[in-house]
Structure 1
Amino acid sequence: MRYDLDDLRLFVHVVDQGSITAGAVQMHLSLPSASARVRALETHAGVPLLVRERRGVRPTPAGTTLARHAREVLAQTARLDSAVASYTAARSRPLVLVSGGSAMHRVVPAALASFLREYPEHDVTVSEQRTPRSLRLLAEGKADLGIVLDDDETTGTTLRTEPLVDDSLVVIGPAGGLLSGRPTMSYAEVAEHPMIGLDLGSTLRTWMDRRLGPHAPAPRYRTLVPTLHTLITLATAGVGLAIAPLRSVAGNPALDICPLTDPWATRSHLICYAPTPPTPAITALATHIRQAATT
């Protein structure tokens, strides 16, 4: 059997309102036209769909079933219309998000996954940048939103910022290994052991090297890797110790996690906005970033 979508929509309104008259008003139809459509629907179905009473109507068991499935069909049709319209509507320019490598590990993927699902009409361009570069891009209007570190570079900025999440660094190694039972450790102690490090071009490695300075002990890196994911995987396997953001490894039962005593290891992230007033889409993306950071 074939059903007209407008007839289904009218029938749902009639059932919800308990009145053919009220359903006709919802559909902008005259009462005779709405009554004729409902009778035609009953004829098409082959069974009574409504019980007519003095003060309105109520659905028969068949009418209740039809109304339930009609709601599902109408909802699916609305989703279909939205999906097709997303290809024909003029696309707005992508939002531009800049972030350091630490937030790229968990916060950014989680935020993008939820934002892009909820807002199919918006795209997002993401790039990994050190905090000074992110601040410049935001100030110049070349980025809309940034996840930056709360440090010397952001202290003097006139850009709007808001606290996001702790991003302190810790030393990690396989569970039951060298770090077992250690409450804390200094970087100098960590550097006495074979280590796994991030590539020289990574934002986290560059940030650490600047704070360690030329007189810090030189570690023996067994290998340098491009991503935190690889760094954590090798540390878990016992290849060497590694330094990583606490948020990227918290709750991992395969790792021993030891806080660093060095002051520079305590740090936090901020959300930073471009100078222009944020659009609703930028505000929504910031909301998803906050949700991802606190989950």
Structure 2
Amino acid sequence: MRYELSDLRLFLEIAQARSLTAGAAAVFITPSAASYRLKNLEQALGTALFERTPRGMDPTPAGEAMLAHVRELFEGIERMQGDVSRFVSGVKGQVRLAANSSSLNGFVTPTLGRFLVAYPGIDVEIEERQSEAIPAAVLAREADVGIFAGPSDVQGLVTHAYAVDRLVIAAPSGHVLAAHQRIRLGAALDFDFVCMARASSNYLFLRDSAQRLGKIVRARLHGHSFDAVLALVAAGVGIAMVPSSVLGGRWQANPLAIIELDELWALRRLSLVVRKDARLPGFITEFVSFLLDDPQVAVTRASG
């Protein structure tokens, strides 16, 4: 049986987006054309690949089995293109990175800028996820590289120590907490918070930690970035839980008090993972080395 790569790419995009419309847009065709091509693919295979639900397009068991093979197929094609392009016009390719918000804002972004300048033929697709979901996403080939905080029991991954960070409480200089050097999260939750976006991994971690203590986060508003959150904290709107890596010199330039969280989990050990069985293109291996060897990141591993 012959398979058109364009149809398999469409299948992959629909499966990843859980949407026929989004999958069609990703390969630059209309939804009606995508529906026709998907129907032909299902007929050729003799089985349904998706179940249409109110939530979107959920792969059937047959679709899940096919998805694993199609991801591996396109991974091989990407690897082939990377190997061949070195002899033509320099290294070209794309890296898919899944990371939590703390690593993205505190460590990854500055390194990423230098990598993209050094490798103009490489593009990087970033997706922010909660730390708990990242190892499984890498194992499922939804990302090539993952960076997350905390332990993981997901098997089949190669794990590298990436960086060490610490969650702290930022408060206005005149706040009642400003006199404290350390505080438990439960006590901090008695005050108003300025939070990151509702979908951010930073806020979701704070929300879940509060729930385990039987409390809620009194969020006055959700900022779009750590810079915005810290500016609002400095203005006296509330306090915030942030990774110390995002502070830089901001807390010295703004009237902020930084209070350590007296919690074992506040020390955040960040790990970088790739699949153990992955035959990664050279440019992804170089990307991993670039992230791990950044001196500003490596120094945190020594101090942690």
After superposition, the C-alpha distances for 1:186-209 in whole angstroms (9 at most, x for unaligned) are: 112212222112233211222233
TM-score normalised per structure 2: 0.61
TM alignment of 1:145-294, pairs within 5 A: 145-151=145-151, 154-175=152-173, 177-213=175-211, 215-251=213-249, 252-253=251-252, 254=254, 255-275=256-276, 276-290=278-292, 291=294, 292-294=296-298
Letter of the 1:163 counterpart: A
Report the AA paired with residue 288 of structure 1: F
2:61 alignment counterpart = none
**Matching residue of 1:27:** none
Question: 1:111 aligns to what?
Answer: 111
C-alpha spacing 1:214/1:111, structure 2 compared with 1 (3 Å): same
Q: Matches of residues 61-100 of structure 1 in structure 2 within 5 Å?
A: 89=89, 92-100=92-100
Task: Classify the secondary structure of the residue corresponding to 1:180.
Answer: helix
Contact kept, 8 Å, 1:162 with 1:272, in 2: the verdict is: yes
Provide the secondary structure at the position in 2 that maps to 1:133: helix
Between Structure 1 and Structure 2, whose CA radius of gyration is higher? 1
Unmatched 5+ residue regions in structure 2?
1-84, 300-304
Q: Distance in 1 between matches of 2:90 and 2:114?
A: 22
TM-score (norm 1): 0.63
Distance in 2 of aligned mates of 1:280 and 1:176: 52
What runs of 5+ residues in structure 1 fail to find an aligned partner?
1-84
One-letter code of the match for 1:165?
A
Indicate the larger mover: 210-219 or 166-175.
210-219
Shift in Å at residue 143 of structure 1?
A: 1.6
Shift of 1:293: 2.3
SS at 1:201 equivalent: coil
- Relative to its length, the structure with more strand (as a share) is 2
Identity within the alignment, %: 20
How big is the shift at 1:283?
Answer: 2.5
Counterpart residue type for residue 210 of structure 1: D
For 1:68, the equivalent position in structure 2 comes to none
When residues 223 and 148 of structure 1 are mapped into structure 2, their CA distance, relative to the original with a 3 A threshold, is same
The amino acid that maps onto 2:155 is T
The amino acid across from 2:93 in the alignment is R
